[in-house]
């Protein structure tokens, strides 16, 4: 599938993705997927550009795969949010007018939110000095953003080192800190649709939820309102800290969050070995009815997949339908697909996000 931005072809590209998901899930007797489309443009909330020198000036640039020395110069970026497109020329004018900002600047990253917040990260091949900090403070004020400067081994933060997002799920607005450098869902509008689908799919429960790979609590916050209590795991320290802040800021008090990998939690539940990070948590006191997983592109490893088999219900969000299908193949003798969905997080590419609810046969 071509990665060409062409809004007129959006419907046919989405149809092709739906057909691909149908084919992958057909061996498991999946129902027809619910389909959640994307805005046709200005849907991507984050963007990263290398800078390319031409005629004495630095320009935003991207490179085709395998083409390190042939830059594609960019003035605007229609798949990125309106806020990113508004900031791009203003930031470029600022570094062109300031040696302190432009000297050995090689990369710029934007993070914006549906709530209107924005953060700009500027990466340098030199130490950041006082002149840079003075110029960056003025830049942050002029643009109304947080600015982060990065050089080897150093990070300077002007403002905050996170952006604030707000997402509406079933009439309740949840607030999220999205830290600089940590994973966030790139397509905010589709992310909101994913949260709403998962919220509906899990239903109102009187038992407990185990969540693996919880990140900054993107799904944790709304799903926690549907169950008695949640045990959530995440390995990234940055994401764990953000998730704890998000739980506190939203008044969600029925979640215990543990910094363990999915593999380590599997060992703990199998009583293979104890973990100090689980001190004070009685795993046997939980009555888990559902496990929620949102794994990386590689999907669940075989042991984690076997762990999920224990649960009556498996709610699975996937960024790779091939590894999703491989995991379902491992589980199909005990679980069937009750619901499935396609979320078009990445228009005009072959990538897709999908979701399934598996229930015990």
Interval 13-22 mean pLDDT: 97
Q: Are residues 340 and 209 in the same domain?
A: yes
At 69, which CATH number?
A: 2.40.50.1070
Q: Are residues 303 and 345 in the same domain?
A: yes
User: Total structural domains in the chain?
Assistant: 2
> For residue 171, is it within any domain?
no
DSSP state string for 109-172:
EEEE-TTS-EEEEEEESS---HHHHHHHHHHHHHHTSEEEEEETTEEEEES-SEEEEEEEETTE
Report the pLDDT value the prediction gives residue 256, as an integer from 0 to 100.
96
Query: Residues with Cβ < 8 Å from 165, sequence gap 6 or more?
Result: 113, 114, 115, 117, 175, 176, 178, 184, 188
Q: What angle do CA 40, 41, 47 make, to 5 degrees?
A: 135
Q: Are residues 92 and 31 in the same domain?
A: no
pLDDT tens, residue by residue, 279-320: 889 998 999 999 999 998 999 999 889 999 999 999 999 999
Give dist(CA 316, CA 247) in Å, integer. Answer: 22
Q: Where are the alpha helices (DSSP H) in 173-291?
A: 188-202, 220-224, 237-249, 262-269
Report the pLDDT value the prediction gives residue 2, as an integer from 0 to 100.
42
pLDDT tens, residue by residue, 90-142: 999 999 999 999 999 999 999 999 999 999 999 999 999 999 999 999 999 99
Q: Are residues 30 and 105 in the same domain?
A: no
Among positive and negative, which fits the CA dihedral 222, 233, 148, 72?
A: negative
Q: Are residues 81 and 128 in the same domain?
A: yes
Q: Are residues 103 and 52 in the same domain?
A: yes
Give dist(CA 28, CA 329) in Å, integer. Answer: 8
Among positive and negative, which fits the CA dihedral 104, 106, 111, 112?
A: positive
Q: Are residues 151 and 96 in the same domain?
A: yes
Q: Are residues 351 and 214 in the same domain?
A: yes
Active site residues: 319, 353
Percent of all residues in the chain with a pLDDT value above 70, rounded to a whole number: 99
pLDDT tens, residue by residue, 146-197: 999 999 989 999 999 999 999 999 999 999 999 998 889 999 999 999 999 9
Strands 118-124 and 105-112: antiparallel
> For residue 168, is it within any domain?
no
pLDDT for residue 46 is more than 60: yes
Nearest partner of 101 among 63, 70, 142, judged by Cα: 142
Domain boundary among 163, 195, 214: 163
């Amino acid at each position: 599938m071509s990665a060409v931005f062409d809004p007129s072809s959006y419907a046919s590209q989405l149809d092709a993705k739906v057909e691909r998901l149908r084919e992958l899930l057909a061996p498991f007797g999946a129902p027809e997927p619910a389909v959640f489309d994307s805005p046709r443009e200005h849907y991507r909330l984050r963007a990263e550009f290398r800078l390319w020198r031409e005629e004495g000036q630095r320009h935003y640039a991207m490179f085709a795969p395998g083409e390190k020395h042939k830059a594609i110069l960019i003035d605007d970026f229609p798949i990125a949010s309106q806020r990113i497109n508004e900031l791009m020329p203003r930031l470029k004018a600022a570094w062109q007018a300031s040696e302190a900002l432009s000297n050995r600047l090689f990369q710029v990253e934007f993070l914006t939110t549906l709530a209107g917040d924005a953060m700009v990260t500027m990466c340098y091949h030199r130490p950041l000095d006082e002149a840079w900090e003075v110029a960056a403070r003025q830049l942050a004020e002029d643009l109304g953003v947080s600015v982060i400067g990065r050089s080897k081994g150093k990070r300077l933060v002007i403002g905050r080192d996170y952006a604030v997002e707000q997402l509406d799920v079933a009439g309740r607005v949840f607030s999220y800190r999205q830290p600089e450098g940590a994973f966030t869902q790139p397509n905010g509008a589709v992310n909101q649709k994913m949260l709403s689908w998962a919220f509906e799919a899990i239903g109102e429960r009187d038992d407990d939820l185990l969540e693996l790979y919880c990140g900054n609590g993107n799904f944790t916050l709304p799903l926690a309102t549907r169950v008695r209590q949640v045990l959530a795991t995440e390995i990234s320290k940055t994401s764990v800290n953000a998730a704890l802040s998000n739980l506190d800021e939203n008044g969600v008090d029925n979640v215990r969050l543990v910094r363990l990998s999915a593999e380590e939690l599997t060992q703990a539940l199998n009583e293979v070995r104890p973990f100090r990070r689980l001190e004070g948590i009685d795993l046997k006191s939980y009555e888990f009815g559902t496990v929620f997983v949102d794994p990386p592109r590689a999907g669940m490893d075989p042991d984690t997949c076997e762990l999920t088999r224990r649960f009556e219900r498996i709610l699975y969000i996937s960024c790779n339908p091939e590894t999703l299908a491989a995991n379902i193949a491992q589980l199909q003798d005990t679980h069937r697909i009750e619901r499935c969905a396609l979320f078009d997080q990445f228009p005009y590419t072959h990538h897709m996000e999908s979701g399934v609810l598996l229930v015990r046969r």
